[in-house]
Amino acid sequence: MKSFRDYPKLVDVESMNWEVRFKRKLFHEGKEVDGLCDYDEKVIYIRIKKDRCDMFRVFVNEVLHAIEYENDHDIPHKYIEQIDTGLAKFMRKNIDKLIKIIV
């Protein structure tokens, strides 16, 4: 699993550029969180973690929130959390196969 420095600085979410920033500490409403989307500024924040697999899961989680926002949906967070782990694991285990059909 790659370092946070290897992540893209910008990602395309529904044809909109979202910036990706990493923070050593990240808070929302006074509580420490692993990830956060700033919908107004179109920024995805990820807390730097030692567990790189979990950090990737958080990245996937926040991308799902950005997709949700750009499509004007309101998906309960518990459902996104149910999807993010499986999707992140699927992507990690199958990236070589996915690259062949995407590129």
pLDDT tens-place string over residues 27-71: 999 999 999 999 999 999 999 999 999 999 999 999 999 999 999
Contact 93, 56 (CB under 8 A): no
Total count of domains within the chain: 1
Confidence of residue 5 (pLDDT cuts 50, 70, 90): confident
Per-residue pLDDT at 103 exceeds 80: no
If one counts every other C-beta atom within 10 angstroms of the C-beta of residue 4, the result is 17
Say what the pLDDT of residue 80 is: 95
Range of the domain at 24: 4-102
Is the full-model pTM beyond 0.85? Answer: yes
Confidence of residue 74 (pLDDT cuts 50, 70, 90): very high
Beta bridge partners of 40: none
